[in-house]
Every structure is written in structure tokens, then in C-alpha cells.
Structure 1
Amino acid sequence: MPKLNLSQSPAVRAKWEENLKLDSQEKVTSSQQQLPNSAALTPQCIEKRWQVIAERTNKAALLDTDSEKQQNLYSSNIEHFIGTVKLPVGLAGPLLVNGAHAKGEYLVPLATTEAALVASYSRGAKLITEAGGVTALVINEGVTRTPVFEFANVTKAGEFVAWAVTEYEQFKQLAHSTTRYGKLKDININVEGNRVYLVFEYLTGDASGQNMVTFATNTIYQYIIQSCPVDIHSCYLDGNLSGDKKPNSHTMRSVRGKKVVADITIPAALIEKRLHTQVAKMVEFGQMTTTGSLLSGGIGVNAHYANALAALYIACGQDPACVAESSIGITRMEQNAQGDLYASVTLPNLMVGTVGGGTHLPSQKACLDILGLYGSGNARALAEVTAGLCLAGELSIVGAFCAGHFSRAHQRLARR
């Protein structure tokens, strides 16, 4: 509200007072929507929140009997809790994976509201299984956090770098003091003018690891602030160089989370039998859509990794926001000398874990149990299964476009 100029006319003054009154009324209305000050998950706080919204919706649809009984299980995963949201879960498969860690057939739970999605992934999974299974391999791992420090000039930035490289062992000891499972495996430096970005890369065991690397890096960050002999003008715990939950091209050549490759060779006769198209047509489709991806400014080339990842992440207690980065990758299809289809996927950003986060929640644990991949020792296997699932989806959707079935399948399954 602008200040009143006393020299203004009575009409202007009256309008100003009317606006002031309306503004005051809006504040009163807003205050009636206030939630309890505490974000805690207690029966008393939950009841107070429902007093605010009870007239707007059906309480039982969000806070059903099971949600009330299990509410304490959510205490480390949510604030201002009011209930749970149910999504339909379907099974895709069986998917045969011949991985370094994932070995055997898997039924993959997918949580989605998109008709035709589970059917498509199931079709691709069955095709892969009939062809002898997908080969999958985790080839690299690492989760980064990238604090940034600003100095008076590039000379001071250089002095900071010269000091920082002598502190690497101290940085590692500090990081390892914060976690039983994480390990600081690499430190890199990126200088931009008078700013220095330190890139700390960690192994995070069977956890996805975002919180783990944040806590460890913060300990190093505080040590730098207290011990650095060079005057730091400004600094922040993360300088946005990590690519956390954002699509980026850097990890195409490195890694964030788990980098996984998967491939398969499928006989031409099986492509015609199950996908009702030809190998040459699928390869041509891939070439044309690669050009389309370049024209659109896309990072990587794939048909729809995000569909598989979002549905699997929600079902299995992963962080759905990581789909933004995890869906970056490359799908490639070629016709080999025998006329069969060679297909591969490379996913450098799979942020998956089998401990921590939402993996322990009742529905999410149940889905990981279906896969047989809940708990310690299973994160790499989950990453390999995820890559196999993405390849299944690529084969199915490309086949559907080539056979002219894509729109028909969605119309049949979404409008029945």
C-alpha cells in the first residue's frame, strides 16, 4: 500500500482509506487459514490442521484408518501431515535381467494414473524376456555437492585453491566423521573469475544419498569458513554445479547417482511377431527422432525414460524430483549384420536407493519387496533393473509408433 500524500484531494484520500480497509480485511481472511505453528506429526496437530480444511474436502479420503494407524511412520518424511494419497499400482513384466547385480526375472511395480503406461512397459519387458534378457551393468557411481566461495579477485581465488588442495585429507576425514555408509571419493575444483566451486563427489552405499552428501559437505564447508587463511567475501553450501534435480549435460560424460548401461539383441522375427513392425523401420524412427531431439535443444536422446522413472520412483520410495536429472540419457537402435535389432540405453543419472528416504514406508517397502530388493546390498541391482525397465519402454513405444498403434492403444485403454 503506497503512502498517503496529505496534499491529495478528499476523493483520493477516501479511495486510499477504502483500499486500506480492504487490505485489512484480506489480512483477517488470510489469518483464518493459518495452520498450527508446529509442523510436528502428532494427533493434536493433525486435528488442528483438519479444523482448517474440514469443510473443503472428505477427510476420510486422505486420513483413512490405515493412515491414522501408520502416521508415526511418516514422521521423518513429511511436515504438516494431513493424510496420504493413494495411487494405483500395476505390475510390468516379467523382465529378465542379466546384470552384474540383478539376476533373474522381476515383476516391476509402477505407480501411475496414466492409462497404457504399465501395459506398454509390460509388453516391452515380455519381449526382452522372450529374447533372452537384457544385459545391464552399473559402470560408475557418485553423488556430488558443490559449495562456492567468492574472493576479492582472481589472485585471492588462486591462493584459496592453493590452500584447499593441501587440505584434501582433512576434508575426507571430516566427511567420513558424519556418515557410516558414505565415502568422499573425489574432489575437483572449478574456477570462474573470482569464484571457486569445490566439487565433492561421494559414494553413498545403498542410499540415494542426497541428504548424506549435504550433511558431510556442510561439515567441510564450516571447517573452510573457520580455517581458510584467505578472506572469503561470500560463500554458499551449494553453487548449483552439482546438477541436483535439474536436467544437465555434464553427467552425460561423468555420473550423478549411478551410471548404468543396458543392451539387448532381438531377432527380427521376434520384432515382427511381438511389435508388428520391422527392424529397419525402428532404426529409421530412431534416426529421425534424434534429429528432432537436437532441433528441440534436448539433452540426450530417449523416447520416454521419465514415464518409467516417475512410476517406479513413486512406487518404490525414491525421490520423484530426481526424475528431472535421471531421465537424461541415450537410447540407440541399430540393425546388425544378421538383420536383427541391437538396442541399448545409457542412463548416467539414476538416483536410486534401497535404504533411507521413503523406502521404509509401508506401501513403498511392499513394492521393493515385490522386486526382492528392499534393504542393504540391493541398490546396484535396483539400478540395473531400472535400466532394463527403461529399455523395455523404449522398445515398446518405438514399436507402437512404427506400427501405427500408439494413438490407438491410448484411446482403447484410456477411454474404456
Structure 2
Amino acid sequence: MSTSSQGAAAHLQRLVGEGNLDSVLQRLKPQHHPLPARFTGATSLSRASVEQRWGILAAAPASPERSTTIAAARAVLDPASAANVSGAADASASVHSNLAPYARNIEYAVGTVQLPIGIAGPLRINGSCTAGDFYVPLATTEAALVASYQRGAMLISEAGGCAAALLAEGVTRAPGLVFETVAQAGAFIAWAVTQEEAFAVVAASTTRHGRLTRTRMTVEGNHVYLSFEYLTGDAAGQNMVTLATDAICDYIVRCAPIKPRRIFVEANLSGDKKACTQSFQSVRGKKVCAEVIVPDELIRKRLHTTAADIAEYWAMTVLGGVISGTIGVQGHYANGLAALFIATGQDAACVSEAAVGITRFQLQGDGSLYACVTLPNLIVGTVGGGTGLPTQAACLDILGLRGAGHARSLAEVAAALALAGELSIVGALSAGEFAQAHRKLARRAPAPSTPSAA
């Protein structure tokens, strides 16, 4: 990354402010004075452990930016527990009792984060794996977001619903192997291509729900990348495929006639938690498309624009995406996916790869609008991970998709939600209402609190 000399000078001036460059450089040097106390017992949720953590926070050096008082303890508790907190002991006891359901999901726990949940829907989906009218829970702090998805959901539903289709599924893990020479790498490949069945047996020994379905191999000099693709049932499957791949790596070390000098369980070829171009040639998680044809009169009524204007605006955004170098072409998948993932206990970091895809708007001969989204990297599950936590399980219950047998349906809901968001945001931008909507919803005065009945 480069900058102009004028830009560099202006940035330095902002950093230095009223001080001098030497003081800024001094702050950047390593500091070796003793560290404050650290937390211990990473997975413990005992009252003593929670008390210890809050004690450390309370004893931390005070500053105007840091609050480790009882007010902070109340803030990370649910309202019912917070009302009973009057001291550190009360705080730790309340945290301890409320964190019990989270024991398998957190380390060094001190409390929970509370987020508002809104509902977008009904969203009518006519899918290959699910069908019905869905009320979609979205956890977000961004004003106007739920309202936008609600508008898109109603547009889709009034048009008869969107079709949604699961196109492919599979979760990858890509170990890397280091050999002395490319000749050794080639000899290893000659052995590895005979071992796919053995690899599958080894993987199956680590899980009842996962299955190795495909192995691909990439050679770069004396490096070999093995891409293992798994079906993971109704789990998102990130941990499942890691453990299965680790077992295969152990098998390779034991049995390969050409031993790798080093072997790493993941060598950054899988696309895990990052946007990459290989998404469009394969799948990571579940690949889903959703489409709807919306009559022009309905677009005029609900979006205050026309099908022709939306198609023209979309064509310009495609070129904008090409010029800026985006991977895929879409408006704001990340908004809806992040809110849905948090609400339903998915791995929120997977939004970094799930929010890659293609949105397409096409004007039909009869003046209607064809709208379609394709998302190749939906890492979602309805069992395991955070899906069993109290709030997240409740949100899956709202969808009717809690537990085994529903992961594919959740992926289709996610794609339909993305389609709703694309229709709404493109409608607002083509109608010139985007800023107006944010001004109205994001800057509205907070609602007055209602006193509780005594």
C-alpha cells in the first residue's frame, strides 16, 4: 500500500498533534515493565474463577476509558441478574449461574453480550429443501437493517415467494506437506492417489456424522497441498473436518513411503474465513441460489422505483465492482448474514467467506424484474457450536429449524434473506431513498422507557 508524500505528511501531523515525532516514536517501542495479573482456568465457570476474573478487572489500573466497576458487571449480565448485583461477590455469583449453559463455548468467561433481535418476515420460500413462510430473527445494532430486510421479504412474498435451491455442499480442510524436492513431492502424490479409500476410513473413525467425499492435490515445487472435502451432516463442521484431517495427517506420517519433512493440518488453501476466487469453482459449506420474478407494478408500489431503473443501476454496480476488484458482485450480503449468524449461533467469522457471491438483476420482456443471488460458501449448521445456546436455540425455534435435519433448510433461508436484502438496498439506491431511510431510522430519537409496574 502506498500514499502520496502530501498524504503521509498530513497523517504524521494528525498523529503528532501538539507533541513531537520523538514522543510518538517512543510510544512505539517495546515496554518490558511487569504485566498485570492474568486470568487462569480458561474453561472454568466456577464461582471462584469468575470472582478471580472480576477481581483482576477491578484491580486493573484505572483510566478514563476503562470501567471495571460494578456498573460494568451489571452491563454484562442479563437484566434479571443485574438487578441483584450490589457488589463483586454478587456479580460473580450471578455471572456464574448465568454462564453455565455456555461452558463449552467460551474461555475466561465474565458475562454475556446483549444484542437486540428483530424479525424480518414473513419471507415465503419455495425451496428444494424447505418451503413455507419464515419469520427470520436478526441480531444487530445497525438501525434500518431489519427494516430493509423486512421490506425485501414482503416484496418477495407478495410476488409469490422465491425459489431456492441447494446446488452443492462440502466443507474443506487443506493440509500442507513439505518435501525436500519436487521429485519427492511427485513420488508422494503417486502414493496418495492410491489412498483415497484409506483416507476416508481414517476420517470416518473420528466422527459419526462426517464423511470424506473428495480429495484434490496441488503441487507447488516441493510443497503439496491436499484439499479434503467432507459432508458434515447438520453441523457447520469446521471442528469436525479439522479433527478428521488431523487423523489423516497422522496416517500419512505413519504410512507414506516418502515422509514429508513437515506437515501442517491447514495450509491456507481451503478458503477458511476469507474471501477467495476459488469459491466460484467449488463449494465451502453449502452453495445455494435463490431467485424471484417481481412484477413492475409491485416494484413501483413497494420500492418506489421501476424494474428498468433497478436493472440499469445494477449494471453500473457490476462495473464498479470490476473496477474496485471485488470478489463477486453483490450489495450487502454481510449485513443480513452477520445478523442471522449471530442470532442462530453460527460462527460469525464465517461471514467473511459466506458474504461472497453473485447478485443479478435482469429486465424481462414483459417489464418484470428477474432477481437472483448465488452464495457458494454458506457455512451453517443447526446442531453443534453455538446453536444450542439459550437465545440462539430460541431463534432457531422461531424459524422451526432447530436440531438435526435442518441445516440445508437454514442455508436456503440464508440465501432467500440475502435476496431480500439485495432487492431492498438496490431499490432504495435506484429510487434515491437510501440516505433518507438511514436519516429517518438511524437518527431517530430513542423511545422513552416505560416504568415497570411495582
Q: Same fold (TM over 0.5)?
A: yes
Instruction: Select the residue among 38, 46, 54 that pairs with 1:42.
Output: 46
- Checking the alignment, whether the CA contact within 8 Å between 2:50 and 2:96 is kept in structure 1 is no
Is the Cα contact below 8 Å between 2:249 and 2:263 reproduced in 1? no
CA contact (8 A) 2:45 2:96 kept: no
Q: Does 1:369 pair with 2:381?
A: no
Q: Which runs of 5+ in 1 are unaligned?
A: 1-21
CA contact (8 A) 2:125 2:131 kept: yes
Equivalent pair of 1:260/1:348 in contact (CA under 8 Å): yes
SS at match of 1:40: coil
The structure 2 residue matched to 1:352, chosen from 356, 380, 384, is: 380
Tell me which of 117, 138, 141 is aligned to 2:166. Answer: 138
1:105 aligns with 2:105: no
- The TM-score normalised by the length of structure 1 is 0.92
Query: Residues 23, 85 of structure 1: CA spacing in aligned structure 2 closer, same or farther, 3 A cutoff?
Result: closer
Q: Find out whether 1:237 has 2:265 as its counterpart.
A: yes
Inter-partner Cα distance in structure 1 for 2:242 and 2:259 = 24
Partners of 2:246 and 2:154 lie apart in 1 by 46
CA contact (8 A) 2:203 2:247 kept: yes
SS for the counterpart of 2:195 is: helix
**What is the Cα deviation at residue 39 of structure 1?**
4.0
Q: Please list the CA deviations of residues 95-121 of structure 1 after superposition, one character each: whole Å capped at 9, or x if unmatched.
A: 000001121100000000000000000
Q: Normalising by the residue count of structure 2, what TM-score does the alignment of the two structures yield?
A: 0.84
Match of 1:62 among 73, 76, 79: 76
Name the CA distance, whole Å, in 1 between partners of 2:355 and 2:31. Answer: 45
2:75 partner amino acid? A
Of 400, 407, 414, 2:435 maps to: 407
What secondary structure is seen at the aligned counterpart in 2 of 1:243?
coil
Q: How many residues align?
A: 391
What CA RMSD, in Å, does the superposition of the two structures yield over aligned residues? 1.3
CA distance, structure 1, for counterparts of residue 208 and residue 42 of structure 2: 31
Q: Which amino acid aligns with 1:63?
A: L
Paired position in structure 1 for 2:197:
169
Choose which of 263, 269, 275 in structure 1 pairs with 2:297: 269
Is it true that 1:148 corresponds to 2:176 in the alignment? yes
Distance across 1 between alignment mates of 2:196 and 2:230: 14
CA distance in 1 between counterparts of 2:404 and 2:107 reads: 27
CA distance in 2, matches of 1:382, 1:235: 35
Q: Is the 8 A contact 1:39 1:45 kept in 2?
A: no
Partner of 1:290: 318
How does 1:306-325 map onto structure 2 within 5 Å?
306-325=334-353
Pairwise CA distance, 1:270: 0.5
CA distance in 2, matches of 1:258, 1:93: 23
Post-superposition Cα deviations, 1:382-408, rounded to whole Å, max 9, x if no partner, equal 000110000000000000001111001
1:343-393: per-residue Cα shift (whole Å, max 9, x none)?
Answer: 000000001100000000000000000000000000010000110000000
2:56 alignment partner AA? V
1:50-129 pair list within 5 angstroms = 50-54=54-58, 56-57=68-69, 58-64=72-78, 65=81, 68-129=96-157
Partners of 2:283 and 2:159 lie apart in 1 by 30
2:87 is aligned to none
Percent sequence identity is 55
Counterpart contact for 2:304–2:427, Cα < 8 Å: yes
Residue matched to 2:358: 330
Q: How far apart in 2 are the matches of 1:96 and 1:23?
A: 58
Amino acid at match of 1:48: Q
- 1:166 is paired with a residue of what secondary structure? coil
Q: Distance in 2 between matches of 1:148 and 1:34?
A: 35
Per-residue Cα deviation, 1:15-62 (whole angstroms, up to 9, x for no partner):
xxxxxxx966x21xx2x3322354422221111000011362421211
Matches of 2:421 and 2:440, distance apart in 1: 19
CA deviation vs aligned residue, 1:263-288 (integer Å, no higher than 9, x gap) = 01000110111100011110011110
Distance in 1 between the 2:415 and 2:280 partners? Answer: 15
Tell me the residue number matched to 1:299.
Answer: 327
DSSP 3-state at the match of 1:332: strand
Partner AA of 1:56 in structure 2: T
The amino acid that maps onto 1:397 is I
CA distance in 1, matches of 2:396, 2:245: 30
Deviation string, structure 1 residues 230-267 (Cα, Å, up to 9, x no partner): 13222211110000001111011210000001101000
Corresponding position of 1:14 = none
- 1:19 counterpart residue number: none
The amino acid of 2:52's aligned partner reads: K
Q: Which runs of 4+ in 1 moved over 4 A?
A: none
**1:381 maps to what in 2?**
409
Give, in whole Å, the separation in 2 of the partners of 1:149 and 1:238: 10
- State the distance in 2 between where 1:115 and 1:98 align: 29
1:126 maps to a residue whose letter is: M
Point out the more displaced range, 362-371 or 33-42: 33-42
Once the 2 structures are TM-superposed, how far is the Cα of residue 67 of structure 1 from its aligned partner? 5.0
Question: 1:5 corresponds to which residue?
Answer: none
- Which residue does 1:220 correspond to in 2? 248
Partner residue of 1:8?
A: none
